[in-house]
Chain A
Amino acid sequence: MALPALQLHSVSHSFGAEQILNSVDLSVENGERIAIVGPSGQGKSTLLKIMAGLLVASRGRVEIEGADFHKLSHEQRQKLRCRMGMLFQKNALFDSLHVGENIAFPLREVTKQSEQEIETLVVKGLESVGILHAKDLYPDEMSGGMQKRLGIARAQALNPDFLFYDDPTAGLDPITSRKIIDLIIDLQEKKKATIVVVTNEMARAFQVGHRVWYVGDREVFDLGTPEQARETKNPKIRAFLRGEVSP
């Protein structure tokens, strides 16, 4: 039986005295799409960063394909990181590099490809997200939607097996939001990567997720498929998903 792509074992995390997550046990299967929802400030991004290995949980462990991420050697961890991509909430684009160089960065750092091959991959990456015309612009010369697309292209540059998206539709209009989620689904279906998406938009969460997780009150609830999530019996979660004031 194949190992789950990602597993959380009794993961707890605190910032100082404030506990954010308490004993989370969950797993993600290969090629699965997980949507994480929940009220602001409840630890969605923290959970995502723990899953991506950017944050070390205060307690518990994160296993990627059965290996404890933080117990791997430096070289093994770097190798595994090359199989991951992440879109940050505020994009985290390299503002001193232009669009093409942002995508070329991981290719130059990690692969041993020639400049010509890198150039081809940059063009292909920009084409896949529809911003090839902006190749020579700097990130702050682009609109919010274009920056998100660039962030997605950069996250996909190494053709990763695991992709983490932190609020990919934040600050975008509904049409652009939908296009971004369509793009994420489209790219995921081509590669069959395992993806985890944090979002505050319920419609987008139900659109992207094979399963929906709810983060709140220091716990993470697996609500199942979008259909099952809509039928949840928990009144607080149901109210949140429907955008109602909780009872």
Chain B
Amino acid sequence: MTKVASSLLTDIGGCVLFFKDIMRTLIRKPCRRVDFFDQVWKVTVQSVSTTGMAGFFVGAIMTVQFALQMKEFGALGFLGGLATSATVREVGPLLIAFMLSGKVGAFTSAELGTMRVTEQIDAIRCLGADPLQEMILPRFLGIVVSSFFLLTLGLIMSIFGGMIMGAAFAGVNFEEYLRHIPTIVTLPSVLNGIVKCFVFALVLATICTYKGFTATGGAKGVGQAVVKTAVSTMVCIVIFDWLTSFLSDITVRVVLGAQ
């Protein structure tokens, strides 16, 4: 038990210090633009189809679930607004984070881990370059920036999925479905979604680069790094989801109270 706690604390401490190093590198000597855009492109292209598809079905599922309840209250006109609000505030950012974790997080961790155990990262350092600047920073920023593109795509697809399912399942036409979205999906809801997306992306990018960068022990070590990345990111994303929901709730109350 003590060993597990000690290992957990070491991991948390390591991640925090690693994040600090990444930020310091970002300020001191940012990566080359070409490397950054290359990573943004790679991450976006890698995840665009799965995110789009998952977004479509999430919108459809949310619509079906809400439709069942709202039919009883005769409030089907609000179906589009409520389904979209839930997706923007909660399901969208969470979905993007899980998608990226499974695909990009695992890939990044395996790629960096392999470079670590084959001493390629030591070689970069030995050749006078900074591995944090060369390898970590472009991947880190790539994940964070791509997550916004993917969130936008996921949300558009979820509205599209919801519209189709609303028409097919609850008889709500497209115009009616879209009508209440602007009134229910308020600016705080959108900001909440964006903040969550940003925080999840930071968590994911830090954990997967840290686990890959510190992998040891050959192929087995790389495998363990990938598994740890998948597990840690899922757990941390859920924890940070609770934390951001909690904090945004307090922030909204404070702002409304002040008004």
Query: Measuring CB to CB, which residues of chain A are less than 8 angstroms from any residue of chain B?
Result: 49, 52, 54, 74, 78, 81-82, 84-86, 88-90, 92-95, 105-106, 109-110, 154, 157-158
Q: Pick the interface stretch among B43-51, B114-122, B136-144, B153-161.
A: B114-122
Contact residues, B120-145 vs A (CB, 8 A): 120, 122-123, 125-130, 134
Closest to B120 in A: A92
Question: Is A158's CB under 8 angstroms from B122's CB?
Answer: no
B28, B118, B120, B123: residue with the most chain A Cβ atoms closer than 10 Å: B123
CB distance from A215 to the nearest CB of B (A): 20
Given contacts A82-B128, A109-B128, A154-B127, 15 further A-B contacts (CB under 8 A): A54-B126, A78-B130, A81-B125, A81-B126, A81-B127, A85-B126, A85-B127, A86-B126, A88-B119, A90-B119, A94-B120, A94-B123, A95-B120, A105-B127, A105-B129
**Could you tell me the distance between the alpha carbons of A74 and B126 in the complex, rounded to whole angstroms?**
14
Question: Is A106's CB under 8 angstroms from B129's CB?
Answer: yes
Question: Is B119's CB under 8 angstroms from A106's CB?
Answer: no
Report which of B118, B125, B130 forms a contact with A54, defined as CB distance below 8 A: B125
**Could you tell me the distance between the alpha carbons of A15 and B215 in the complex, rounded to whole angstroms?**
16
**Could you tell me the distance between the alpha carbons of A139 and B129 in the complex, rounded to whole angstroms?**
21
Task: Give every chain A residue within 8 A of B126 (Cβ-Cβ).
Answer: 52, 54, 81, 84-86
CB distance from A245 to the nearest CB of B (A): 30
- B: contact size bracket: 10 to 19
Question: Is A86's CB under 8 angstroms from B123's CB?
Answer: yes
**Could you tell me the distance between the alpha carbons of A157 and B127 in the complex, rounded to whole angstroms?**
9
Contact residues, B203-259 vs A (CB, 8 A): none
Task: Give every chain A residue within 8 A of B127 (Cβ-Cβ).
Answer: 81, 85, 105-106, 109-110, 154, 157-158
**Could you tell me the distance between the alpha carbons of A82 and B120 in the complex, rounded to whole angstroms?**
16
Question: Is B118's CB under 8 angstroms from A90's CB?
Answer: yes
Interface 1/0 per residue, B99-124 and A, CB below 8 Å? 00000000000000000001110110
CB distance from A87 to the nearest CB of B (A): 9
Task: Give every chain B residue within 8 A of A158 (Cβ-Cβ).
Answer: 127-128
Q: Report 25 cross-chain contacts, Cβ distance below 8 Å, ordered by A residue.
A: A49-B122, A52-B126, A54-B125, A54-B126, A74-B28, A78-B128, A81-B125, A81-B126, A84-B128, A86-B126, A88-B122, A88-B123, A90-B118, A92-B118, A92-B119, A93-B120, A93-B123, A95-B120, A106-B127, A106-B129, A109-B134, A110-B127, A110-B129, A157-B127, A158-B127
Interface 1/0 per residue, B190-213 and A, CB below 8 Å? 000000000000000000000000
CB distance from B115 to the nearest CB of A (A): 8
**Could you tell me the distance between the alpha carbons of A86 and B119 in the complex, rounded to whole angstroms?**
11
Task: Give every chain B residue within 8 A of A81 (Cβ-Cβ).
Answer: 125-128
Task: Give every chain A residue within 8 A of B129 (Cβ-Cβ).
Answer: 105-106, 109-110
Task: Give every chain B residue within 8 A of A82 (Cβ-Cβ).
Answer: 128
A81, A85, A89: residue with the most chain B Cβ atoms closer than 10 Å: A81
Task: Give every chain A residue within 8 A of B28 (Cβ-Cβ).
Answer: 74
**Could you tell me the distance between the alpha carbons of A115 and B88 in the complex, rounded to whole angstroms?**
47
CB distance from B6 to the nearest CB of A (A): 14
**Could you tell me the distance between the alpha carbons of A74 and B133 in the complex, rounded to whole angstroms?**
13
Closest to A79 in B: B128
**Could you tell me the distance between the alpha carbons of A94 and B129 in the complex, rounded to whole angstroms?**
14
Task: Give every chain B residue within 8 A of A88 (Cβ-Cβ).
Answer: 119, 122-123
CB distance from A195 to the nearest CB of B (A): 14
Closest to A105 in B: B127
